[in-house]
Chains A and B, each alone.
Chain A
Amino acid sequence: MHISDGVLPLAVTIGGYAASAGLATWSARRIHSRDLPKVAVVTSAFFVASLVHIPFGPTSTHLLLPGLAGALLGPAAFVAIGLGLLLQSVLFQFGGITALGANAVMMGVPAVVCGWFFQQFKGRTQARQAIAGGLAGALGTALAAVFLAALLVAGGEDFFGVAKLALAAHVPVIVIEGVISGFTIGFLARVKPVLLQSSFQDAAGPMHD
Chain B
Amino acid sequence: MTKLQKGLVMGLLCFSLAGLSGPLWAQNPPEDSTGEIIALLKEQNSALSADLRRIQREIAALRADLDKPGIKDVFAGIGYIFGLFGAAAFAASRRRE
Contacts and interface: CB of A to CB of B under 8 A. Distances in A.
Interface residues of B, number: 20
B96 to A, nearest CB: 6
B81 A91 contact: no
Interface residues of A, number: 19
Interface in A75-106: 83-84, 87-88, 91-93
B93 interface: yes
A92 B73 contact: yes
B92 A40 contact: no
Interface stretch (B1-9, B27-35, B39-47, B82-90): B82-90
B77 A208 contact: no
* A contact patch SS: helix
Contact of B84 (A51, A83, A208): A83
A36 B78 contact: no
Interface of A: 33, 36-37, 39-40, 43-44, 47-48, 51, 83-84, 87-88, 91-93, 208-209
